[in-house]
Amino acid sequence: MKFSLFMLIVALVAPGMHLHAQDNAEPSPPSRLPLEELRIFAEAFDRIRQAYVEEIDDRKLLESAIKGLLTQLDPHSAFLDESSFSDLQETTTGNYGGLGIEVGTENGLIKVISPMDETPASRAGILPGDLIIQIDGKAVKSMDVGDAVDNMRGEPGSSVMLMIMRKGESAPLEKTLIREVIKIASTRQRLLEAQYGYIRIAQFQAGTGPEVSKAIDELKKNGPIKGLVLDLRNNPGGVLQAAVQVSDLFLENGLIVYTEGRIENSAMQFTATPGDRLEHVPMVILVNEGSASASEIVAGALQDHRRAIILGTTTFGKGSVQTVLPLTNKKAIKLTTALYFTPKGRSIQAEGIVPDIWVERSTITRIKSNPFSVQEKDLPGHLQQPAQDDATQDTDNTANRELASTDFQLNEALILLKGINILAP
Protein backbone atom coordinates (compact mmCIF):
# COMPACT_ATOMS: atom_id res chain seq x y z
CA MET A 1 0.00 0.00 0.00
CA LYS A 2 2.78 2.42 0.90
CA PHE A 3 4.49 1.99 -2.46
CA SER A 4 1.27 2.12 -4.52
CA LEU A 5 0.02 5.24 -2.74
CA PHE A 6 3.40 6.90 -3.18
CA MET A 7 3.41 6.10 -6.91
CA LEU A 8 -0.15 7.44 -7.18
CA ILE A 9 0.98 10.77 -5.68
CA VAL A 10 3.92 10.88 -8.08
CA ALA A 11 1.57 10.28 -11.03
CA LEU A 12 -0.70 13.12 -9.97
CA VAL A 13 2.04 15.73 -9.65
CA ALA A 14 1.05 18.80 -11.65
CA PRO A 15 2.88 19.44 -14.92
CA GLY A 16 5.97 21.55 -14.37
CA MET A 17 6.54 20.23 -10.83
CA HIS A 18 9.37 17.86 -9.98
CA LEU A 19 10.11 15.40 -7.22
CA HIS A 20 13.49 15.48 -5.55
CA ALA A 21 15.36 13.76 -2.77
CA GLN A 22 16.53 16.02 0.04
CA ASP A 23 19.39 13.81 1.19
CA ASN A 24 22.79 15.31 0.18
CA ALA A 25 21.05 17.63 -2.26
CA GLU A 26 21.30 21.35 -2.71
CA PRO A 27 18.26 23.54 -1.87
CA SER A 28 15.58 23.16 -4.51
CA PRO A 29 13.19 25.66 -6.03
CA PRO A 30 9.87 26.07 -4.14
CA SER A 31 7.97 24.59 -7.11
CA ARG A 32 9.44 21.14 -6.53
CA LEU A 33 7.72 18.62 -4.27
CA PRO A 34 9.93 17.02 -1.58
CA LEU A 35 10.30 13.29 -2.14
CA GLU A 36 11.10 12.47 1.49
CA GLU A 37 7.99 14.25 2.85
CA LEU A 38 5.82 12.38 0.34
CA ARG A 39 7.29 9.10 1.58
CA ILE A 40 6.46 10.16 5.17
CA PHE A 41 2.89 10.98 4.13
CA ALA A 42 2.46 7.56 2.51
CA GLU A 43 3.92 5.91 5.62
CA ALA A 44 1.56 7.84 7.93
CA PHE A 45 -1.43 7.01 5.74
CA ASP A 46 -0.61 3.31 5.77
CA ARG A 47 -0.06 3.17 9.55
CA ILE A 48 -3.35 4.98 10.23
CA ARG A 49 -5.39 2.65 8.01
CA GLN A 50 -3.78 -0.44 9.57
CA ALA A 51 -3.46 0.50 13.25
CA TYR A 52 -6.39 2.85 14.00
CA VAL A 53 -8.84 1.40 16.53
CA GLU A 54 -11.62 1.28 13.92
CA GLU A 55 -11.42 0.41 10.26
CA ILE A 56 -11.44 3.52 8.05
CA ASP A 57 -12.43 3.65 4.42
CA ASP A 58 -9.47 4.71 2.27
CA ARG A 59 -11.57 7.28 0.42
CA LYS A 60 -12.67 8.90 3.67
CA LEU A 61 -9.09 8.99 4.92
CA LEU A 62 -7.85 10.64 1.72
CA GLU A 63 -10.69 13.17 1.88
CA SER A 64 -9.71 13.97 5.47
CA ALA A 65 -6.14 14.53 4.30
CA ILE A 66 -7.37 17.05 1.72
CA LYS A 67 -9.40 18.83 4.41
CA GLY A 68 -6.31 18.96 6.59
CA LEU A 69 -4.28 20.52 3.79
CA LEU A 70 -6.81 23.33 3.45
CA THR A 71 -7.70 24.01 7.07
CA GLN A 72 -4.02 24.59 7.89
CA LEU A 73 -3.81 27.37 5.27
CA ASP A 74 -6.34 29.93 6.49
CA PRO A 75 -9.87 30.04 7.97
CA HIS A 76 -11.57 30.46 4.59
CA SER A 77 -10.04 27.70 2.46
CA ALA A 78 -12.11 24.51 2.60
CA PHE A 79 -13.00 21.23 0.92
CA LEU A 80 -16.47 21.25 -0.64
CA ASP A 81 -18.36 18.01 -0.99
CA GLU A 82 -21.69 17.93 -2.81
CA SER A 83 -23.61 19.13 0.25
CA SER A 84 -21.17 21.93 1.04
CA PHE A 85 -21.27 23.24 -2.51
CA SER A 86 -25.08 23.32 -2.37
CA ASP A 87 -24.88 25.25 0.92
CA LEU A 88 -22.56 27.79 -0.71
CA GLN A 89 -25.06 28.37 -3.50
CA GLU A 90 -27.89 28.81 -1.00
CA THR A 91 -25.93 31.43 0.91
CA THR A 92 -25.30 33.55 -2.17
CA THR A 93 -28.95 33.39 -3.26
CA GLY A 94 -30.15 34.24 0.25
CA ASN A 95 -32.55 31.36 0.99
CA TYR A 96 -31.57 28.51 3.30
CA GLY A 97 -32.44 26.83 6.57
CA GLY A 98 -30.69 27.42 9.88
CA LEU A 99 -29.95 30.16 12.40
CA GLY A 100 -28.80 33.09 10.25
CA ILE A 101 -25.25 33.26 11.53
CA GLU A 102 -21.98 33.77 9.64
CA VAL A 103 -19.05 31.95 11.26
CA GLY A 104 -15.32 31.39 10.85
CA THR A 105 -12.58 29.74 12.91
CA GLU A 106 -10.19 31.08 15.53
CA ASN A 107 -7.72 28.96 17.51
CA GLY A 108 -9.74 25.83 16.83
CA LEU A 109 -13.03 27.42 17.92
CA ILE A 110 -15.96 28.64 15.85
CA LYS A 111 -16.09 32.44 15.87
CA VAL A 112 -19.17 34.48 15.01
CA ILE A 113 -18.43 36.92 12.21
CA SER A 114 -21.93 38.34 12.15
CA PRO A 115 -25.55 37.47 12.94
CA MET A 116 -27.89 38.33 10.08
CA ASP A 117 -30.83 40.70 10.44
CA GLU A 118 -34.20 39.36 11.61
CA THR A 119 -32.98 35.78 12.11
CA PRO A 120 -32.94 33.49 15.17
CA ALA A 121 -29.29 34.44 15.79
CA SER A 122 -29.92 38.19 15.91
CA ARG A 123 -33.05 37.79 18.04
CA ALA A 124 -31.16 35.60 20.53
CA GLY A 125 -28.58 38.33 21.02
CA ILE A 126 -25.64 36.57 19.34
CA LEU A 127 -22.89 39.17 18.77
CA PRO A 128 -19.90 39.46 16.42
CA GLY A 129 -16.81 38.04 18.12
CA ASP A 130 -18.70 35.46 20.19
CA LEU A 131 -16.88 32.10 20.33
CA ILE A 132 -19.10 29.03 20.02
CA ILE A 133 -17.67 26.29 22.24
CA GLN A 134 -20.54 23.77 22.13
CA ILE A 135 -23.39 22.93 19.76
CA ASP A 136 -26.09 20.79 21.38
CA GLY A 137 -23.57 19.65 23.98
CA LYS A 138 -20.92 18.71 21.37
CA ALA A 139 -17.54 20.38 21.85
CA VAL A 140 -16.50 22.25 18.71
CA LYS A 141 -12.77 22.36 19.47
CA SER A 142 -10.96 21.70 16.18
CA MET A 143 -14.29 21.21 14.34
CA ASP A 144 -14.08 22.73 10.87
CA VAL A 145 -16.56 25.38 9.74
CA GLY A 146 -18.45 23.01 7.46
CA ASP A 147 -19.14 20.53 10.25
CA ALA A 148 -20.17 23.35 12.59
CA VAL A 149 -22.61 24.74 10.02
CA ASP A 150 -24.06 21.25 9.43
CA ASN A 151 -24.64 20.86 13.17
CA MET A 152 -26.37 24.23 13.44
CA ARG A 153 -28.65 23.56 10.50
CA GLY A 154 -31.70 21.32 10.74
CA GLU A 155 -35.46 21.10 10.34
CA PRO A 156 -37.30 24.41 10.72
CA GLY A 157 -38.95 24.55 14.15
CA SER A 158 -36.34 22.35 15.81
CA SER A 159 -34.14 23.80 18.54
CA VAL A 160 -30.38 23.98 18.93
CA MET A 161 -28.39 24.96 22.01
CA LEU A 162 -25.25 27.05 21.60
CA MET A 163 -22.74 27.55 24.40
CA ILE A 164 -20.73 30.70 23.73
CA MET A 165 -17.85 32.57 25.29
CA ARG A 166 -18.09 36.37 25.10
CA LYS A 167 -15.39 38.91 25.77
CA GLY A 168 -15.99 40.52 29.14
CA GLU A 169 -18.07 37.62 30.47
CA SER A 170 -16.54 35.37 33.12
CA ALA A 171 -18.77 32.37 32.40
CA PRO A 172 -20.12 30.79 29.18
CA LEU A 173 -23.54 31.90 27.96
CA GLU A 174 -26.16 29.33 26.94
CA LYS A 175 -28.45 30.26 24.06
CA THR A 176 -31.30 28.11 22.77
CA LEU A 177 -32.41 29.01 19.25
CA ILE A 178 -35.25 27.75 17.07
CA ARG A 179 -34.22 26.97 13.50
CA GLU A 180 -36.04 28.74 10.67
CA VAL A 181 -35.96 28.85 6.90
CA ILE A 182 -33.64 31.82 6.46
CA LYS A 183 -34.75 34.22 3.77
CA ILE A 184 -32.39 37.13 3.87
CA ALA A 185 -33.79 40.40 2.54
CA SER A 186 -30.67 41.96 1.09
CA THR A 187 -31.79 45.60 1.28
CA ARG A 188 -34.32 47.77 3.04
CA GLN A 189 -34.78 51.52 3.27
CA ARG A 190 -36.65 54.23 5.17
CA LEU A 191 -36.55 57.93 5.94
CA LEU A 192 -34.94 58.77 9.26
CA GLU A 193 -36.70 62.11 9.00
CA ALA A 194 -37.60 64.50 6.18
CA GLN A 195 -34.89 64.49 3.45
CA TYR A 196 -32.55 62.12 5.32
CA GLY A 197 -32.55 58.56 4.03
CA TYR A 198 -31.37 55.25 5.43
CA ILE A 199 -30.44 52.10 3.48
CA ARG A 200 -29.53 48.87 5.23
CA ILE A 201 -27.66 46.10 3.36
CA ALA A 202 -27.79 42.86 5.36
CA GLN A 203 -25.74 40.76 2.93
CA PHE A 204 -24.31 41.19 -0.57
CA GLN A 205 -26.27 38.88 -2.87
CA ALA A 206 -26.44 38.64 -6.65
CA GLY A 207 -29.24 41.22 -6.90
CA THR A 208 -28.08 43.66 -4.22
CA GLY A 209 -26.84 46.33 -6.64
CA PRO A 210 -30.20 46.79 -8.41
CA GLU A 211 -32.00 46.56 -5.03
CA VAL A 212 -29.99 49.49 -3.64
CA SER A 213 -30.67 51.50 -6.80
CA LYS A 214 -34.39 50.83 -6.38
CA ALA A 215 -34.18 51.80 -2.69
CA ILE A 216 -32.72 55.17 -3.69
CA ASP A 217 -35.65 55.71 -6.07
CA GLU A 218 -38.10 54.91 -3.27
CA LEU A 219 -36.46 57.44 -0.97
CA LYS A 220 -36.52 60.12 -3.68
CA LYS A 221 -40.29 59.74 -4.08
CA ASN A 222 -40.67 61.71 -0.85
CA GLY A 223 -38.67 64.65 -2.21
CA PRO A 224 -35.01 65.60 -2.60
CA ILE A 225 -32.53 63.74 -0.38
CA LYS A 226 -30.10 65.89 1.66
CA GLY A 227 -28.19 63.02 3.25
CA LEU A 228 -27.96 59.21 3.27
CA VAL A 229 -26.82 56.68 5.87
CA LEU A 230 -25.65 53.37 4.37
CA ASP A 231 -25.69 50.76 7.14
CA LEU A 232 -23.19 47.91 6.68
CA ARG A 233 -22.94 46.90 10.34
CA ASN A 234 -22.90 43.11 10.89
CA ASN A 235 -22.88 42.57 7.13
CA PRO A 236 -20.72 39.45 6.54
CA GLY A 237 -20.13 40.22 2.86
CA GLY A 238 -21.08 37.98 -0.05
CA VAL A 239 -20.83 38.44 -3.80
CA LEU A 240 -17.89 40.58 -4.98
CA GLN A 241 -19.73 41.86 -8.04
CA ALA A 242 -22.56 43.13 -5.83
CA ALA A 243 -20.07 45.16 -3.77
CA VAL A 244 -18.66 46.65 -6.96
CA GLN A 245 -22.15 47.54 -8.22
CA VAL A 246 -23.13 49.22 -4.95
CA SER A 247 -19.90 51.25 -4.89
CA ASP A 248 -20.43 52.25 -8.52
CA LEU A 249 -23.83 53.76 -7.66
CA PHE A 250 -22.12 56.52 -5.69
CA LEU A 251 -18.88 57.06 -7.66
CA GLU A 252 -18.39 58.99 -10.89
CA ASN A 253 -15.13 57.35 -11.92
CA GLY A 254 -11.92 55.76 -10.69
CA LEU A 255 -10.85 52.45 -9.22
CA ILE A 256 -13.22 50.62 -6.86
CA VAL A 257 -11.12 47.62 -5.84
CA TYR A 258 -8.35 45.45 -7.22
CA THR A 259 -7.00 42.01 -6.37
CA GLU A 260 -3.54 40.46 -6.50
CA GLY A 261 -2.54 36.80 -6.34
CA ARG A 262 -0.18 34.18 -7.74
CA ILE A 263 -2.32 32.62 -10.46
CA GLU A 264 -2.77 34.43 -13.75
CA ASN A 265 -6.48 35.26 -13.50
CA SER A 266 -6.34 36.37 -9.86
CA ALA A 267 -5.28 39.93 -10.76
CA MET A 268 -8.44 41.94 -11.39
CA GLN A 269 -9.44 45.60 -11.40
CA PHE A 270 -12.93 47.06 -11.09
CA THR A 271 -13.59 50.69 -12.02
CA ALA A 272 -16.60 52.98 -11.63
CA THR A 273 -18.80 54.13 -14.50
CA PRO A 274 -20.02 57.75 -14.85
CA GLY A 275 -23.04 58.79 -12.79
CA ASP A 276 -23.63 59.26 -9.06
CA ARG A 277 -27.18 58.16 -8.18
CA LEU A 278 -27.25 60.61 -5.26
CA GLU A 279 -25.61 63.49 -7.15
CA HIS A 280 -22.92 64.01 -4.49
CA VAL A 281 -25.37 64.18 -1.58
CA PRO A 282 -23.45 63.69 1.72
CA MET A 283 -23.15 60.07 2.87
CA VAL A 284 -22.21 58.30 6.09
CA ILE A 285 -21.40 54.57 6.09
CA LEU A 286 -21.91 52.71 9.37
CA VAL A 287 -19.51 49.80 10.04
CA ASN A 288 -18.48 47.64 12.99
CA GLU A 289 -16.45 44.52 13.77
CA GLY A 290 -19.12 42.42 12.03
CA SER A 291 -18.67 44.21 8.69
CA ALA A 292 -16.61 41.88 6.51
CA SER A 293 -15.38 41.20 2.99
CA ALA A 294 -17.74 42.88 0.47
CA SER A 295 -18.79 45.39 3.14
CA GLU A 296 -15.16 46.40 3.57
CA ILE A 297 -14.74 46.77 -0.19
CA VAL A 298 -17.59 49.29 -0.33
CA ALA A 299 -16.45 51.18 2.77
CA GLY A 300 -12.83 51.25 1.59
CA ALA A 301 -13.69 52.44 -1.92
CA LEU A 302 -15.95 55.28 -0.79
CA GLN A 303 -13.49 56.26 1.96
CA ASP A 304 -10.54 56.43 -0.45
CA HIS A 305 -12.53 58.53 -2.92
CA ARG A 306 -13.71 60.79 -0.07
CA ARG A 307 -17.27 60.10 -1.16
CA ALA A 308 -18.53 59.02 2.28
CA ILE A 309 -17.56 59.38 5.92
CA ILE A 310 -17.01 56.02 7.64
CA LEU A 311 -18.42 55.97 11.17
CA GLY A 312 -18.40 53.19 13.77
CA THR A 313 -15.66 50.75 14.77
CA THR A 314 -12.90 48.92 12.86
CA THR A 315 -14.23 46.26 10.50
CA PHE A 316 -13.57 42.50 10.57
CA GLY A 317 -10.55 42.49 8.24
CA LYS A 318 -11.38 39.76 5.70
CA GLY A 319 -9.48 40.95 2.66
CA SER A 320 -8.97 37.63 0.87
CA VAL A 321 -10.53 36.23 -2.30
CA GLN A 322 -11.77 32.63 -2.42
CA THR A 323 -12.01 30.76 -5.71
CA VAL A 324 -14.00 27.53 -6.13
CA LEU A 325 -11.79 25.05 -8.01
CA PRO A 326 -13.62 21.89 -9.18
CA LEU A 327 -12.00 18.52 -8.49
CA THR A 328 -14.83 16.41 -9.93
CA ASN A 329 -18.40 17.11 -11.00
CA LYS A 330 -19.53 16.97 -7.35
CA LYS A 331 -16.49 18.00 -5.32
CA ALA A 332 -14.34 21.11 -5.24
CA ILE A 333 -12.03 23.13 -3.06
CA LYS A 334 -12.61 26.70 -1.99
CA LEU A 335 -9.12 28.17 -2.03
CA THR A 336 -7.84 31.61 -1.08
CA THR A 337 -6.20 32.83 -4.29
CA ALA A 338 -5.84 36.61 -3.93
CA LEU A 339 -6.08 39.64 -1.65
CA TYR A 340 -8.31 42.71 -1.95
CA PHE A 341 -6.84 46.21 -2.08
CA THR A 342 -8.67 49.54 -1.83
CA PRO A 343 -8.21 52.16 -4.59
CA LYS A 344 -5.25 53.67 -2.67
CA GLY A 345 -3.56 50.29 -2.33
CA ARG A 346 -4.52 49.50 1.26
CA SER A 347 -4.82 45.81 2.12
CA ILE A 348 -7.96 44.94 4.08
CA GLN A 349 -6.60 41.58 5.26
CA ALA A 350 -6.33 41.32 9.06
CA GLU A 351 -6.43 45.13 9.27
CA GLY A 352 -9.97 46.04 8.31
CA ILE A 353 -11.26 49.51 7.52
CA VAL A 354 -10.60 52.04 10.28
CA PRO A 355 -13.49 54.49 10.55
CA ASP A 356 -12.98 58.21 10.01
CA ILE A 357 -15.01 58.84 13.16
CA TRP A 358 -14.86 56.26 15.96
CA VAL A 359 -18.25 55.70 17.60
CA GLU A 360 -18.84 52.57 19.67
CA ARG A 361 -22.17 50.85 20.18
CA SER A 362 -23.51 52.54 23.31
CA THR A 363 -26.56 53.05 25.45
CA ILE A 364 -27.29 56.59 26.54
CA THR A 365 -29.47 57.84 29.36
CA ARG A 366 -31.17 61.19 29.12
CA ILE A 367 -30.48 63.54 32.04
CA LYS A 368 -33.67 65.07 33.39
CA SER A 369 -33.90 68.82 33.13
CA ASN A 370 -33.85 70.98 36.25
CA PRO A 371 -37.52 71.60 37.23
CA PHE A 372 -36.52 74.85 38.95
CA SER A 373 -34.78 76.41 35.94
CA VAL A 374 -36.28 79.65 34.63
CA GLN A 375 -36.46 80.85 31.03
CA GLU A 376 -37.59 84.12 29.52
CA LYS A 377 -41.07 82.75 28.87
CA ASP A 378 -41.44 82.08 32.63
CA LEU A 379 -40.86 85.69 33.62
CA PRO A 380 -43.93 87.79 34.48
CA GLY A 381 -44.83 90.30 31.77
CA HIS A 382 -42.51 88.84 29.10
CA LEU A 383 -43.17 89.81 25.48
CA GLN A 384 -45.17 87.31 23.46
CA GLN A 385 -43.73 85.56 20.43
CA PRO A 386 -45.83 85.85 17.25
CA ALA A 387 -47.95 82.75 16.73
CA GLN A 388 -46.26 79.93 14.77
CA ASP A 389 -46.63 76.22 14.22
CA ASP A 390 -44.07 74.31 16.32
CA ALA A 391 -45.62 70.90 15.74
CA THR A 392 -43.04 69.79 13.15
CA GLN A 393 -40.11 70.81 15.34
CA ASP A 394 -41.59 69.02 18.36
CA THR A 395 -42.14 65.88 16.29
CA ASP A 396 -38.52 65.92 15.03
CA ASN A 397 -37.16 66.39 18.54
CA THR A 398 -39.18 63.44 19.84
CA ALA A 399 -37.99 61.24 16.97
CA ASN A 400 -34.37 62.29 17.59
CA ARG A 401 -34.59 61.38 21.28
CA GLU A 402 -36.02 57.95 20.42
CA LEU A 403 -33.31 57.26 17.82
CA ALA A 404 -30.55 58.30 20.23
CA SER A 405 -31.79 55.85 22.84
CA THR A 406 -32.33 52.89 20.46
CA ASP A 407 -29.36 53.23 18.04
CA PHE A 408 -26.66 55.64 19.20
CA GLN A 409 -24.38 55.09 16.20
CA LEU A 410 -27.18 55.76 13.72
CA ASN A 411 -28.19 58.88 15.62
CA GLU A 412 -24.59 60.15 15.47
CA ALA A 413 -24.57 59.53 11.70
CA LEU A 414 -27.75 61.56 11.28
CA ILE A 415 -26.36 64.42 13.38
CA LEU A 416 -23.19 64.41 11.26
CA LEU A 417 -25.19 64.67 8.02
CA LYS A 418 -27.19 67.57 9.41
CA GLY A 419 -24.00 69.34 10.42
CA ILE A 420 -22.54 68.93 6.93
CA ASN A 421 -25.65 70.47 5.40
CA ILE A 422 -25.74 73.36 7.87
CA LEU A 423 -22.19 74.36 6.93
CA ALA A 424 -22.54 73.61 3.21
CA PRO A 425 -22.43 76.59 0.81
Active site residues: 293, 304, 318
Distance (Å, rounded) from C-alpha 335 to C-alpha 144?
15
Distances (CA, A) of 422 to 188, 226, 236, 310: 27, 11, 34, 19
Count Cβ atoms within 10 A of the Cβ of residue 352 and give its class: 0-12 exposed, 13-18 middle, 19 or more buried.
buried
347 DSSP assignment: B
Distance (Å, rounded) from C-alpha 280 to C-alpha 247?
13
Give yes or no for a contact between 315 and 296, defined as CB atoms under 8 angstroms apart.
yes
CA dihedral 113, 117, 120, 125 (to 10 degrees): 60
* Helix (H) or strand (E) segment spanning residue 294: helix 294-304
Alpha carbon distance, N-terminus to C-terminus of the chain = 80
- Helical spans, DSSP H, in 82-176: 82-93, 120-123, 145-152
Q: Residue-wise over 251-272: b if at least 16 C-beta within 10 A, else e?
A: beeebbbbbebeeeeeeeebeb
Distance (Å, rounded) from C-alpha 110 to C-alpha 133?
7
Give yes or no for a contact between 77 and 336, defined as CB atoms under 8 angstroms apart.
yes
